[in-house]
Amino acid sequence: MASRRFLILTVVLLLLESLASGTGGETVEDKQALLDFIGNVSISRQLNWNKDSSVCQSWFGVTCSGDGSRVVALRLPAVGISGPIPPNTLGRLSAIQVLSLVRNSLSGQFPVGELSKLRNLTTLYLQNNRFSGPLPQDWSAWRNLTVLNLSGNNFNGSIPSAISSLSYLTTLNLSNNSLSGRIPEMYLSNLVLLDLTNNNLTGPIPLSLQKFPSWAFSGNEVSFLGEKASPPYLPANPPNAEPSKEAKKLTQSALLGIILGGSAFGFLVIASLMILCCSKRKGNDGISLKSRKNEGIARKNGDSENQGSNDRIVFFQGCKYVFDLEDLLRASAEVLGKGTYATTYKAALEDATTVAVKRLREVGAARRVFEQQMEVVGYMRHENVAALRAYYCSKDEKLLVYDFYEDGSVSSLLHGTRRGPLDWDTRLTIAIGAAKGITYVHEQNGGRLVHGNVKASNIFVDSQGHVRVSDIALAPLMNQVPPPVMRMVGYRAPEITDSRKPTQASDVYSYGVLLLELLTGKSPVHSSSGDEAIHLVRWVHSVVREEWTAEVFDLALLRYPNIEEEMVEMLQIAMACVARTPEERPRMSEVVRRVEDIRQANPGSGPSPEIKSGRSTTTGTPSPLPPGVDPTTTRGAAAK
Ligand SMILES: *[C@@H]1O[C@H](CO)[C@@H](O)[C@H](O)[C@H]1NC(C)=O
Ligand SMILES: *[C@@H]1O[C@H](CO)[C@@H](O)[C@H](O)[C@H]1NC(C)=O
Ligand SMILES: *[C@@H]1O[C@H](CO)[C@@H](O)[C@H](O)[C@H]1NC(C)=O
Ligand SMILES: *[C@@H]1O[C@H](CO)[C@@H](O)[C@H](O)[C@H]1NC(C)=O
Ligand SMILES: *[C@@H]1O[C@H](CO)[C@@H](O)[C@H](O)[C@H]1NC(C)=O
Ligand SMILES: *[C@@H]1O[C@H](CO)[C@@H](O)[C@H](O)[C@H]1NC(C)=O
Ligand SMILES: *[C@@H]1O[C@H](CO)[C@@H](O)[C@H](O)[C@H]1NC(C)=O
Ligand SMILES: *[C@@H]1O[C@H](CO)[C@@H](O)[C@H](O)[C@H]1NC(C)=O
């Protein structure tokens, strides 16, 4: 408890004030290097870089390490510096990790001499200056770079293939330069954002970069040869199953099991999932349709009495789908994901209806128990809960039918390579929506229902931007997951030894891990430079304890101005949720209140650390916003 308090105190000190540093041992060499830099350039605004004041505590744009011994970040956006970077100045800031000189009038060649001494550099923003000439051929000095933005200069020549050696690179923006020639292959497995627009590039887009959207190459003369072919359409004709009466005679489970493998995606024919429209049935109580053994589908509640105990499809109220067996026979299905308990498919019907079908493995519960639980879940309706539309239950197969969400899960939004990093507003929306959804779950069944499997891949964003929590209350129905697998998952609360017995408090823990994932952009279990697996919660604890808390946050979030307080607030909530003992964790209803307060407590105009440090003495402080970032638009952006 004492350590927790210490932790929160550290967070508050380090981040809310952001300039915390010891008074003793303040860097003298770095201070001199900064003074030499500013003394040797022409600058049109006055900085408050006073020789007699504390570099770490009051100089505009300067961030020191926790103990104040070194300068670790320098951000001087749009302060009117012109001319080349003078030699033997910035190069002496050898501990610097973030260098941002955006929107000045710096000129000359790429400052190789100075920058090559900055071996710990992770983020370099030089966009919107007047640098020219070729890019360096050798990038070995900057192996730690994760973000490189050189947009809006006059760099010419070709893109050096050595950029391919920057294996940690997540963002590369070379747009609006005069780069020419062919684009080299770049095998950058971490790259999520690429922008090469408005150059003079030619030739084909190399294979390694074809996963990026075509706009990333626009404004060039490149050819879009070898564009990705859409996945082959497999007509769903399982051997000896005609889409006719015959099919109905086959045992349903046999058909259900047919998976056409072989292609990258794998296709499944959900041959006997017989789904009928049930929207006509509004006003019925939840369960309305049941299939009759060997006879396809019955339409009325009353029909259920004839039924054997096998093979029933159960629909829930409000199901809007209109398709029948034949449609489903022709549906092709694509594997969306394989989880611990289930494989999920996207089933596309010819009438353009698409549903997500979850095929459960390892159901351990008795059929009765399973059906009871489905009834509880099937009744649930909330704008932050993914509605269970129908389920199918036979001895060998258990299928759940949900709406299909085009945008995919939060996990794919966060870690997928298809689009750029998630912006902060979307992350906040996800945090709030997920919290509300889980809270609603906790209110069901007399306040005793447990979600049991809260994780980023079970949370979706629908086309209206609503966050939807899925996979509710399945864990107790499943076989026990062996401990090593559980541990790998990273969302599991430490006190949970049996995966079938989650609690509301363990849901809160998992939700805390989700928040950390949103804040750090890292998976709950990830590997660092080495191959050693790192547990996110432990990692965040260690980082915060070592007083380099700002390192916790996703680099992709650094470009949004004025969100530090909000990020810190979210970090504090996350830390409370992942408390070691269940009693220490807040209840979900309390968590909702706190995440909803994040934005209210920090109205859009909250100053960034740069504003604070600049404001202390200077009046003509330049806008610390990165150019092109308009706080009103970033704030107003709705979740997509
Ligand atoms: C310019 O930089 C050099 C070191 O490179 C330093 O000795 C000199 O004092 C600086 N000039 C000014 C005016 O600060
Ligand atoms: C670079 O970073 C590492 C670890 O963060 C640190 O140990 C090292 O001292 C840094 N290098 C310099 C020159 O500060
Ligand atoms: C990358 O950073 C580590 C410490 O974080 C440092 O030891 C190493 O020298 C850096 N890599 C390069 C190529 O400078
Ligand atoms: C690249 O930088 C330019 C500004 O210099 C910006 O307009 C553009 O949005 C950036 N690209 C991406 C993908 O962020
Ligand atoms: C790059 O621009 C410079 C002038 O700024 C010019 O001398 C040089 O030839 C150009 N190089 C290429 C490859 O176009
Ligand atoms: C990039 O160049 C295009 C065309 O020259 C221009 O319209 C656009 O404003 C520039 N974008 C930035 C961010 O400088
Ligand atoms: C890039 O292409 C434009 C238009 O084709 C041309 O005017 C310009 O000179 C080219 N720039 C370079 C550096 O080759
Ligand atoms: C590059 O910098 C511009 C500001 O000039 C910013 O709008 C853009 O988001 C940055 N791009 C990346 C990919 O970081």
Kindly report the pTM of this predicted structure. 0.46
Residue whose CA lies nearest to ligand 1 atom number 9: 36
Strands 467-469 vs 459-461: parallel, antiparallel or unpaired = antiparallel
pLDDT band at 482 (very low <50, low <70, confident <90, very high): low
**What is the CA(264)–ligand 5 centre distance, in A?**
45
**What is the CA(422)–ligand 4 centre distance, in A?**
15
Q: Nearest bound ligand to CA 221? A: 7
Report d(CA 469, CA 455) in Å as an integer: 9
Question: 88 CB under 6 A from ligand 7?
Answer: no
For the cut 70, the answer to whether the pLDDT of residue 632 exceeds it is no
User: Poorest-confidence range of 315-329, 542-556, 609-623?
Assistant: 609-623
Render pLDDT for 113-144 as a digit per residue (tens, 0 to 9).
999 999 999 999 999 999 999 999 999 999 99
pLDDT band at 99 (very low <50, low <70, confident <90, very high): very high
For 158, which DSSP code?
Answer: P
pLDDT at 626: 33
Which tokens in the block code for residue 639?
């979740």
**What is the CA(149)–ligand 7 centre distance, in A?**
21
Which amino acid is located at 331 in the chain? Answer: A
Nearest atom in ligand 1 to the alpha carbon of residue 87 is 5
**Measured CA distances, 200 to 186, 203, 222, 346 (Å):** 18, 10, 9, 40
Residue whose CA lies nearest to ligand 1 atom number 8: 36
Residue 228: in which H helix or E strand, if any? Answer: none
Nearest atom in ligand 6 to the alpha carbon of residue 219 is 4
Lining ligand 4 with CB less than 6 A are: 127-128, 149, 151-152, 173, 175, 193, 195, 420, 628
Handedness of CA 402, 408, 412, 416 (dihedral sign): positive
User: Poorest-confidence range of 228-232, 263-267, 279-283?
Assistant: 263-267
Residue whose CA lies nearest to ligand 5 atom number 12: 157
pLDDT at 503: 93
Report d(CA 540, CA 233) in Å as an integer: 45
Q: What SS3 state is found at 354?
A: strand
pLDDT at 507: 94
Segment 355-384 mean pLDDT: 86
How is the chain split among helix, strand and coil, in percent rounded to 5?
35, 20, 50
CB 384 within 8 A of CB 405: no
161 or 268, greater pLDDT? 161
Q: Nearest bound ligand to CA 131? A: 5
**What is the CA(178)–ligand 5 centre distance, in A?**
9
Nearest atom in ligand 4 to the alpha carbon of residue 175 is 1
pLDDT at 435: 96
For the cut 80, the answer to whether the pLDDT of residue 544 exceeds it is no
**What is the CA(156)–ligand 5 centre distance, in A?**
6
**What is the CA(227)–ligand 8 centre distance, in A?**
27
Which tokens in the block code for residue 119?
């071996």
**What is the CA(629)–ligand 4 centre distance, in A?**
10
546 or 461, greater pLDDT? 461
Exposure of 229 in the CB half-sphere (CA atoms within 13 A): 4
pLDDT band at 296 (very low <50, low <70, confident <90, very high): very low
Residue whose CA lies nearest to ligand 2 atom number 13: 95
Lining ligand 8 with CB less than 6 A are: 102, 127-128, 149, 151, 171, 173, 193, 195, 559, 626-629
Q: Which of 75, 106, 124, 127 to mutate to test the pocket of ligand 8 (most atoms within 8 A of CB)?
A: 127
Render pLDDT for 70-88 as a digit per residue (tens, 0 to 9).
999 998 888 889 999 999 9
**What is the CA(126)–ligand 3 centre distance, in A?**
21
Which tokens in the block code for residue 518?
């949103």
Q: Which of 126, 151, 214 to mutate to test the pocket of ligand 4 (most atoms within 8 A of CB)?
A: 151
Residue 541: in which H helix or E strand, if any? Answer: helix 536-545
For the cut 50, the answer to whether the pLDDT of residue 156 exceeds it is yes
pLDDT at 330: 57
pLDDT at 554: 85
User: Poorest-confidence range of 117-126, 270-279, 447-456, 494-503?
Assistant: 270-279
pLDDT band at 514 (very low <50, low <70, confident <90, very high): very high
CB 180 within 8 A of CB 202: yes
Report d(CA 148, CA 30) in Å as an integer: 23
Nearest atom in ligand 4 to the alpha carbon of residue 628 is 7
Render pLDDT for 53-63 as a digit per residue (tens, 0 to 9).
888 888 888 88
Residue whose CA lies nearest to ligand 3 atom number 14: 119
**Measured CA distances, 523 to 11, 342, 455, 515, 573 (Å):** 22, 20, 10, 11, 18
**What is the CA(92)–ligand 1 centre distance, in A?**
13
For the cut 90, the answer to whether the pLDDT of residue 275 exceeds it is no
Residue whose CA lies nearest to ligand 7 atom number 10: 200
